[in-house]
Amino acid sequence: MCNAFSGLFLKNGEVFWKWPIDSHEELIGLLRVDDSGRKQDFVRFEITPANEDYINPDKWLYRVDQVSTPDWYRAKYAEEMCRKAHDKWKKKLREFLPSGQKTIHPFRDVKPPKKITKKHLDLLRSWASVGDSVGASVGDSVGASVGDSVRDSVRDSVRASVRDSVWASVGDSVWASVGDSVWAYTGSIFRLPRPAWKHTENIKAEGYPFQPCVDLWKMGLVPSFDGKVWRLHGGKDAKVLWEGKL
């Protein structure tokens, strides 16, 4: 799989990229350029953050994404031109993925409420009614734009820890539902207009369609469901703070 930012450095010195495509093969198909070994008319390249964090990158690294390069390729000039194109790409990225955001870990960064109230349960009911569609919606809505590399850089920072904590608390029967919560929080990082969230036509919401789960997350609460019973987990040990049927 290609990573964002991906593009083609052309023999004539131009850089070809197209938002939101991050597939070299798709770009090659659009250009219909020669891909025959050392006679090829382009070179595949990628520019990615060294820390794999697209929200708060530490350093953007340029690399050629193919085994060899044609005779006409000049590395220093090519990198200079590709980085200029990358600057334009970053402006597009920041339109829907603002920099400087801090990823919230619900069990480490937030103290859970001392008591579960009607407010929390109302949010849980709202989430229970829409959660099944979150994976497909977030994956299709943001994955096609800058690829899994962006989505995973957000998701992986909390996914394993949150799911492992809940597993230690109640077992693996709730992993799927906890994964849905991680998807919901991940999607909230992106700034997309309401119509851009796919597969959510039947969800009544003016903004982000999975906001109830995000609100719980920011309160230090992560929902889980084992097929019969709902739970709200919170605190460093992901303790069960409430359980019952809705």
Please write the tens of the pLDDT for every residue from 185-244.
Answer: 989 988 899 999 999 999 999 999 999 999 999 999 999 998 999 999 999 888 999 999
Single pTM value for the model = 0.79
Q: What is the mean pLDDT of residues 31-51?
A: 85
Q: Taking the chain, what is the end-to-end CA distance rounded to the nearest angstrom?
A: 41
Of the candidates 144, 154, 149, the one whose C-alpha atom is nearest the C-alpha of residue 198 is 144
Parse the chain into domains and list their residue ranges.
6-96, 118-244
